[in-house]
Amino acid sequence: MKNHVIISFFIPHLGCNSQCVFCNQKTITGYRAGPDPRTVGRVIADRLRSLPPGAECEVAFYGGSFTALPWSRQQLYLEAVQPFINRGEIKSIRVSTRPDAIDGPGLDGLMAYGVRTVELGVQSLDGEVLKASGRNYDASLVENASLLIKEKGLSLGHQLMIGLPASNLAKELETAERVIRIGPDMVRIYPTLVLKGTPLAELYREGRYQPLSLKEAVDTALLLLTQFEKAGIKVIRMGLQPTPELEKSGELLAGPYHPGFGELVQAELFKWQAIHLIERFREREVTNRLKIYVDQRDLSKMIGHNRCNIHSLKARFHLEKLEVIGTKGTEKDWVGVGLWHREAPQMVLSRQSFLGPDND
């Protein structure tokens, strides 16, 4: 499989027609202003030189509302990428934008320049949550914009936030169900953080907003992740990318930030997959010494942060010994279990079977 590389440019808040209560793109992205379009080509050329041969490259414009920029400005950015697309060095472009900045002619214009993916900042599909978050549109607009993007044959991404003002678990799950009905190709899940300089920081200071705890955020993201995986929708990111700006003292006021948030959620999913497997295995084998097997690439997720999954499984099943073995050359996302003296798993649970209807 080819190495897929995204060369990202951040255009913080460019094109935004309102201030969403939670958003401070300058802190999130670490960039204070969008790049000068004249520098885009040089940055791409530099990045391409540092990549391994054969990497499949895409250019992305993130962090603002790309399609809400004046068309002449969009063209300047897109034109800077064209020489690389024409030479086959860049395969395609992706942009992130607001759902209320989508129309047919605008999408046709993007496609003519090689844009193949549009990621929509959906955040929620609950009317009250959208209103309380300062989004200034309703859920039906998201559905229409999404369908238009799909009709054009573009790849569609949805960016969702959990723990927004006026939200709760039922609304997060309802949003996920509506997203599944729309059917994007990919989803990102971000826990809401309280960032300095945002309206949410004021609400927090006044005691009118309480963020999720880290555990609540992990548990909620896990429920959404399993819903999306069951529906065959890829979750390509959970939690913000750590940046020096975000981790700078005083920028993050409150909220469930963790630099490895996605790993925490994945570790929780592996733990539950192992619990289901061990329960079944122990119906036929009475033992308190077990080996768990996973693909080598999933080893850290199965073990968990500070070996938390090992401790948790040992306590839950009263195990004297539990070792996790990584295997090479296998598929990802399965879990196996076997007796302590055996060298191979005796029972295996794939992710697909684990998320099947029996395990709801």
Binding footprint of ligand SF4 on the chain (CB under 6 A)? 13, 16, 19-20, 23, 25, 64-65, 98, 121
Q: Which is nearer to ligand SF4, 13 or 351 (CB)?
A: 13
Q: Which of 273, 315, 269, 264 is nearest to 292 (CA)?
A: 273
The terminus-to-terminus CA distance of the chain in angstroms comes to: 33
Length of the chain, in residues: 360
Q: Which is nearer to ligand SF4, 93 or 195 (CB)?
A: 195
Q: Which of 216, 256, 180, 222 is nearest to 22 (CA)?
A: 256
Q: Which is nearer to ligand SF4, 64 or 165 (CB)?
A: 64
Smallest distance, Å, CB 240 to ligand SF4?
Answer: 12
Please give the torsion angle defined by the CA atoms of residues 100, 105, 107 and 110, in that order, rounded to the nearest 10 degrees.
Answer: -130
Smallest distance, Å, CB 152 to ligand SF4?
Answer: 21
**DSSP H/E element including 117:** strand 115-123
Q: Which is nearer to ligand SF4, 34 or 338 (CB)?
A: 34
Q: Which is nearer to ligand SF4, 67 or 266 (CB)?
A: 67
Smallest distance, Å, CB 290 to ligand SF4?
Answer: 46
Q: What is the CA radius of gyration of the chain?
A: 22
**Under a CB-based contact definition with an 8 Å cutoff, are residues 136 and 103 in contact?**
no
Smallest distance, Å, CB 134 to ligand SF4?
Answer: 7
Smallest distance, Å, CB 95 to ligand SF4?
Answer: 12
**Under a CB-based contact definition with an 8 Å cutoff, are residues 302 and 266 in contact?**
no
**Under a CB-based contact definition with an 8 Å cutoff, are residues 159 and 119 in contact?**
yes
Q: Which is nearer to ligand SF4, 137 or 272 (CB)?
A: 137
Smallest distance, Å, CB 61 to ligand SF4?
Answer: 12
Strands 335-339 and 289-295: antiparallel
